[in-house]
A = this chain, B = another copy of it.
Amino acid sequence: MRLSRYFLPVLKETPSEASIASHRYMLRAGMIKQQSAGLYSWLPLGFKVMKRIEQITREEQNRAGAVEMLMPTIQGADLWRESGRYDDYGQEMLRIKDRSDRDLLYGPTNEEVITDIFRSFVRSYKDLPINLYHIQWKFRDEVRPRFGIMRCREFLMKDAYSFDISMEEAVRSYNKMFVAYLNTFARMGLKAVPMRADTGPIGGDLSHEFLILADTGESEVFCHKDLVDMVVPGTDIDFDSDLQPIVDQRTALYAATDEMHDQAAFEAQVPADKRLSARGIEVGHIFCFGDKYSKPLGAKVMGSDGKEHVAQMGSYGVGVSRLVGGIIEASHDENGIIWPKSVTPFGAGIINLKVGDAEADAACEDLYSKLSTAGIDPLYDDKNDRGGVKFSRMDLIGLPYQLVVGPRGLKDGVVEVKDRKTGEKQNLSPGAAINMIIFAYKDVNP
């Protein structure tokens, strides 16, 4: 993309309403614009990052055998009356009346709708297990939206729903999602720790939150240090194999959010030098709640024993839009964002220090064309701004690599390659710079 044809409204000033790094940098880097309290437009740069996070989430869901579909944002109230949650859910649910005065709502979650789909079509244990997911906008009418898209009202979530014939099978489905989540967050460059968590309005006994550690996290968390750097299973894992050992390896070590924390158990189970108490950001939450929805909604299948069984369910959420903020909280410095290569909106930035200079223009066009062909998707700053403006803008938006092209370097046959994360700079021939960047991305998307 050429910057002259892009829409990247960066701000010079730090907006006063933004109290945390992700909110500040998303506004300054022209990633979002607030439209009303807790309602945001995703400007092109922010949208692109969100799409990459969505795609990684999708690929790992598919790999684990979940099947994608889509439920509407607006739901009828009837199913929620059947499950008993219409009155329970409280004021966070956005309730709506249509022109015929029927009760609708903007879905805050989808257990009811998916259970209705299941009961409409599935009759036999032979069709199980099933895990259906969608990536859809949700609405929760927060009383005090804050922290930009981290606690807003309309947000994008991946939610999956599994159906099994027995609780034993349901745990197998749960484990698949547990493992898929480890891989999902690792691919985004995050260290996410699964923790025992409160189940809130979703319900059930078995539940884990996945949290990334960041000073600005909304929850206090307590865990065994070894969990943070534990190696993830990897995307070549066989999801049909027994995944219990992988889950056990994690759940054997203490990890809890503040609601579930037990200080005595923490001290008893974790040696003092391994105790980590920190702040965390929730990026995923998985639940196994058995028949909580299938029973009131009558979602039953015929078993191999010739009897009807109520389906045993789980649900599994990833906060897709919130992850954009979460990744920034985990990866930034005083100059701006530092994107992990797997989610960066553009693979590299090209800075032309002298637009209009025939040699500089030609060198930039050549880099742009070759990197584009190689699938690096570069952003070419071809605008008529001063060098300082270009450098600080490129640092702010956080692309992993910057290629700085100017007449002086070209005289010596080199361009400058800057690593955004380390700040390291090196002068390379244009060909070597291209090869270096292609090499750096070769294992990014498995």
Contacts and interface: CB of A to CB of B under 8 A. Distances in A.
A137 interface: yes
A320 to B, nearest CB: 12
A298 interface: no
A391 interface: no
Interface residues of A, number: 55
Interface in A79-108: 91-92, 94, 96, 98-99, 102, 104, 106
A361 interface: no
B39 A72 contact: yes
Given A35-B113, A94-B98, A7 B137 contact: no
A47 to B, nearest CB: 5
A270 interface: no
A18 to B, nearest CB: 16
A123 to B, nearest CB: 10
Contacts of A121: 7, 9, 30, 33
A5 B116 CA distance: 20
A228 B104 CA distance: 42
B39 A106 contact: no
Contacts of A134: 47
B36 A104 contact: yes
B91 A69 contact: no
Interface in A427-443: none
A326 B423 CA distance: 53
A388 to B, nearest CB: 19
A35 B65 contact: no
A365 interface: no
For the complex formed by this chain, how many copies does it contain in all? 2
Contacts of A99: 91-92, 141, 143
Contacts of A269: none
A154 B91 CA distance: 23
A78 B34 CA distance: 14
A120 interface: yes
Given A43-B117, A137-B137, A69 B7 contact: yes
Contact of A7 (B30, B33, B130): B130
B117 A41 contact: yes
A203 interface: no
A330 to B, nearest CB: 23
Give the most central of A69, A78, A113: most B CB within 10 Å.
Answer: A69
A147 interface: no
27 contacts: A5-B65, A6-B67, A7-B67, A7-B132, A9-B121, A9-B122, A33-B120, A36-B76, A37-B102, A39-B74, A39-B75, A39-B76, A41-B69, A41-B72, A42-B71, A44-B67, A44-B68, A46-B69, A47-B68, A47-B134, A72-B154, A73-B137, A73-B154, A74-B139, A91-B99, A96-B96, A137-B137
Name the 4 nearest CB pairs between A and B, nearest first. A9-B121, A36-B76, A42-B70, A91-B99
